[in-house]
Amino acid sequence: MPQLDQFTYFTQFLWLCVFYLSFYVLLCNDGLPKISRILKLRKQFKTQKLSSDLAKYDADPVFADVVIKECLNTSIVYLCSSVSGASKWCDGMINSLNANQLQSMNQNYVRSMGEMSVSQVIKRKALENNTPSLVFRSDRFARFQKLQQPKIYVLREQRRLLESGQRRKKNQNA
């Protein structure tokens, strides 16, 4: 392999050193002084600007208060606008989800709530019809009065069905 040959290796090393030293000399002679000049000027401009700004604020304390109030007002307006934008986005997303993906689930939920309320009404009516109702009458003697006797509709219907079934059997046998 030619890279491992001593003569080729020596020439490669020599050229590497030449390029490295030339880069180092150019950087030290030209690059670093320019960079240091730029940094010094930047530092001077920064201190001058800070001193002029501080002098402005020190000369007029009302100006500083006005600036602070304006900053706070703009931040409050930005916060309110971002919150309102986020709430509008959330409302839009909820409406689109309800309209598209969750519509069947919402219908099933409303249907089950309706069934539960209907079953509760039926139970209440059945209990009202089968239990005695007591009402407080406000007269001189303030007494409880029993309004109606318990009515058992199921037994009456069963009796009527049995009687009609027996009549049919008699009619069929005769």
Q: How many domains does the chain have?
A: 1
Q: Which tens digits make up the pLDDT trace of 96-148?
A: 877 777 777 777 787 787 777 777 777 777 776 665 555 555 554 444 444 44
Indicate whether 153 pLDDT > 70: no
Residue 89 resides in a domain: no
Residue 27 resides in a domain: no
Q: How many Cα atoms occupy the beta-carbon half-sphere of 30 within 13 Å? A: 6
Mean pLDDT of 147-157: 50
Residue 170 resides in a domain: yes
Residue 154 resides in a domain: yes
Distance CA 107, CA 105 (A): 5
Residue 152 resides in a domain: yes
Q: Which tens digits make up the pLDDT trace of 9-54?
A: 888 889 999 999 999 998 888 888 899 999 999 999 888 887 777 6
* Residue 34 exposed, middle or buried by CB count within 10 Å (0-12, 13-18, 19+): exposed
Q: What pTM was estimated for this model as a whole?
A: 0.27
Residue range of the domain that includes 168: 116-174
Residue 42 resides in a domain: no
Residue 149: the pLDDT is 41
Residue 18 resides in a domain: no
Residue 138 resides in a domain: yes
